[in-house]
């Protein structure tokens, strides 16, 4: 298979000190992954030079993802909040460039968290304009932006593939793609095949998160993996596939709360990571 197989950093660590960075990167390589996805909720806290050296030492590539918060929500009606969000996204984009990556994704179009009101017309315009602006900066460094649509409890901007493709078309930028996540698809989509086909037909199937319905080990929940993997093969998807799982065993100061991670779905990151890698090899790579 030509796909890069990645793993989310929160399988290993909740922060990114030198000790945590060494542990996460070396463990990802030892577990058989090609890429680590850095959770850059606060990109200014990352040592990009150290990270780049560790990636090279262990032969890994990196992507970066994040979700914005109430103070940086680029889908807000408040121009000051939008400006703060754009500043944070610029820092995250600089991090991608400085660690030698080529992908910035996640909930970069709004806040990651529950809203109590629908998205406004003005807020949507702010979000579209933000992504178009960021895409222009990203293009200068050969970086792709991925819009990770999430379930209704984590965003009011994009919940489905169809919404995401329409949003991408509004940006008018070639380097903006759809980021499909099976955890969210299991809540919001009516099929695991049709969204893949639709994104591929639009030329916008750019990144995939594989996460189980309960965010634990792959194959132990209700995601219809055969349908999803067959669809990826049907469209000859060649992009990155990143395993994402969360447990209260590994806690990030803000992300754990935003994602409502209240219990231990696993306690051993290496056991989880090697199990997921074996699951992907057996059920996707050798099909």
pLDDT band at 66 (very low <50, low <70, confident <90, very high): very high
Q: How many CB atoms lie within 10 A of CB 194?
A: 14
C-alpha dist (Å) from residue 275 to 12, 28, 177, 217: 14, 13, 29, 7
| 239 close to 61: Cβ distance less than 8 angstroms | no
| 66 close to 41: Cβ distance less than 8 angstroms | yes
Report, as an integer, the average pLDDT of 50-57. 98
Read off the pLDDT of residues 93-139 as tens digits, 9 standing for 90 and up. Answer: 999 999 999 999 999 999 999 999 999 999 999 999 999 999 999 99
**C-alpha R_g of the chain:** 17
pLDDT of residue 130: 98
Q: State yes or no: pLDDT of 47 exceeds 80.
A: yes
Question: Domain residue spans in the chain?
Answer: 5-285
What does pTM read for this prediction? 0.94
pLDDT of residue 269: 86
**CATH match for 5-285 among 3.20.20.150, 1.10.287.70, 1.10.260.40, 3.40.950.10:** 3.20.20.150
More confident residue, 132 or 260: 132
What's the rounded Cα separation, in Å, for the pair 100 and 121? 36
Number of H helices, E strands in the chain: 10, 8
Residues catalogued as catalytic: 148, 244
DSSP-assigned letter for residue 119: P
For residue 21, with 0-12 CB atoms within 10 Å meaning exposed, 13-18 middle and 19 or more buried, which class applies?
A: buried
Report, as an integer, the average pLDDT of 139-157. 97
Closest-CA residue to 161 (of 215, 245, 231):
231
CA 82 to chain centre: 21
pLDDT of residue 268: 80
Closest-CA residue to 94 (of 170, 43, 37):
43
pLDDT band at 196 (very low <50, low <70, confident <90, very high): very high
Read off the pLDDT of residues 219-255 as tens digits, 9 standing for 90 and up. Answer: 999 999 999 999 999 999 999 999 998 776 666 666 6
Ranking 2-11, 153-162, 262-271 by mean pLDDT, the lowest is 262-271
pLDDT band at 258 (very low <50, low <70, confident <90, very high): low
Pairing of strands 5-8, 240-243: parallel
| 71 close to 25: Cβ distance less than 8 angstroms | no
| 218 close to 280: Cβ distance less than 8 angstroms | yes
């Amino acid at each position: 298979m030509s796909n890069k197989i990645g793993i989310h950093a929160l399988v290993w660590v909740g922060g990114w000190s030198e000790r945590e960075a060494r542990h996460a990167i070396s463990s990802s390589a030892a577990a058989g992954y090609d890429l680590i996805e850095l959770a850059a909720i606060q990109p200014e806290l990352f040592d990009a030079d150290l990270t780049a050296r560790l990636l090279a030492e262990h032969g890994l590539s990196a992507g970066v993802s994040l979700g914005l918060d109430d103070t940086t929500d680029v889908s807000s009606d408040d121009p000051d909040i939008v400006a703060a969000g754009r500043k944070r996204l610029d820092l995250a984009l600089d991090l991608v460039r400085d660690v030698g990556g080529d992908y910035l994704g996640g909930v970069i179009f709004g806040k990651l968290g529950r809203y109590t009101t629908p998205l406004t017309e003005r807020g949507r315009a702010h979000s579209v304009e933000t992504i178009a602006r960021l895409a222009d900066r990203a293009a200068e460094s050969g970086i792709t932006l991925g819009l990770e649509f999430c379930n209704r409890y984590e965003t009011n901007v994009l919940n489905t593939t169809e919404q995401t493709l329409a949003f991408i078309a509004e940006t008018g930028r070639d380097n903006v793609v759809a980021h499909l996540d099976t955890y969210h698809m299991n809540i919001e989509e009516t099929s695991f095949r049709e969204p893949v086909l639709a994104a591929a037909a639009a030329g916008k199937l750019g990144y995939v998160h594989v996460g189980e319905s309960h965010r634990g080990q792959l194959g132990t929940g209700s995601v219809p993996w055969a349908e999803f993997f067959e669809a990826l093969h049907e469209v000859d998807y060649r992009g990155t596939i990143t395993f994402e799982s969360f447990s209260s065993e590994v806690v990030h100061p803000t992300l754990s709360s935003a994602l409502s991670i209240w219990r231990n779905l696993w306690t051993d990151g290496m056991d989880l990571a090697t199990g997921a890698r074996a699951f992907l090899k057996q059920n996707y790579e050798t099909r």
